[in-house]
Amino acid sequence: MEQIKTLEGLAGFPSGAFIPTVAVAAGQDEDTILAVHRAVSKKFVKAVLVGDEEVIKRIVHERELDPDDLPIEHCKTPAEAATKAVSLVRSGEADILMKGLVRSDDYLKAILNKNTGLLDKGELLSHMAVVGIPQYPRLLLITDAAIIPLPSLEQKLKMISYAVQVAAAMGVENPKVALVSASEAVSPKVASSVETAVLATMGHRKQIPHAIVDGPLALDVALSPEHCTKKGLESEICGDADVLLFPNIESANTFYKCCTIFAGAKMAGVVMGTRSPVVLTSRADTEDSKFYSIALAARMAIKQREA
């Protein structure tokens, strides 16, 4: 598979490929409906909108969309819709779960339910963002900007394995995972640098499969070959990172938002660790971001089916 280097490339699917179905929890959100309809019209997903039937039909009519592309499963409340959408995915009637106009806590509660949810024992709920930055020559994966506040060493190992899965769906084998810290020096005063050094040692000893892992690395040397040269740093990653693993949610979320506000970046994202791909978007996300997130989730669903 050829490496996908742009978000637009995520939406290019070969004819004859498996077409997964996305179940939208509380699908009465206009931007979400537009993004889903766009994906359906591109023929790389099918959809079912789970939510307030009257509101959904009104939006579909006002935006002159084809109602045959957007079947509806009526639910009275957003929380009920989240539970129903999860059940559709769990039963195999749908392949992808997507958040609509439902509060994140109700959405996550349905996903994390021990008896009826989508998180299997031993897995970790973690967010993976795919960022298209005009100044960077390929898509950049970052984690975790949305869910895990302060990941432990064990959790970071899981996050790297999830990054490998997302990268594989984008045609990247053995992605270069940069373990981000304040500098390249290991210092007892900087906890993330010490933990990062352990992960890097594991990577060098091939204890982390299907990835090239190095750190601690400051952000500049992870993304800029020129900065590596100036600093005289030798690393397999040097300015060529595919994945940035941040030490905490504050640093990851700050980088994520700086990319959109100051660098004109576009985003896609999925939640990893669940038995099927999950799209978790925010109210601030654009229709484009939601569309690309659906495309990324579709690629994950296809990859999962092929495994």
Spatial distance between the Cα atoms of 23 and 284, rounded to a whole number of angstroms: 21
pLDDT value of residue 301: 95
Residue that has been written with the tokens 């952000």 in this structure: 219
Q: Where are the beta strands (DSSP E) in 81-148?
A: 96-99, 126-132, 140-143
Dihedral sign of CA atoms 130, 133, 138, 144 in order:
negative
pLDDT value of residue 134: 93
Q: Which pair of tokens denotes residue 195?
A: 């933990």
pLDDT value of residue 307: 73
pLDDT by residue (tens digit) across 131-148?
A: 999 999 999 999 999 999
pLDDT value of residue 10: 95
What is the number of alpha carbons within 13 Å of residue 158 lying toward its C-beta? 17
DSSP character at residue 209: T
Helices 153-169 & 287-306 angle (0-180, nearest 10):
90
- Cα–Cα distances in Å, from 300 out to 63, 267, 272? 29, 16, 10
Residue 96: phi and psi, rounded to 5, are -135, 140
Give the domains, in start order, of the chain with CATH numbers: 19-123+274-307 (3.40.50.10950), 128-267 (3.40.718.10)
pLDDT value of residue 41: 96
Q: 10-residue block means of pLDDT along the chain (307 residues)?
A: 92 87 96 96 97 97 96 97 98 97 94 95 95 95 95 96 96 96 89 91 95 95 92 90 97 94 94 95 85 97 88
pLDDT by residue (tens digit) across 244-261?
A: 999 999 999 999 999 999
* DSSP reduced 3-state for 288: helix
* Residues in a beta bridge with 21: 46
* Residues in a beta bridge with 213: 177
Burial class (CB in 10 A: 0-12, 13-18, 19+), 57: middle
Residue 212 identity (one-letter amino acid): I
pLDDT by residue (tens digit) across 207-234?
A: 999 999 999 999 999 999 999 889 888 8
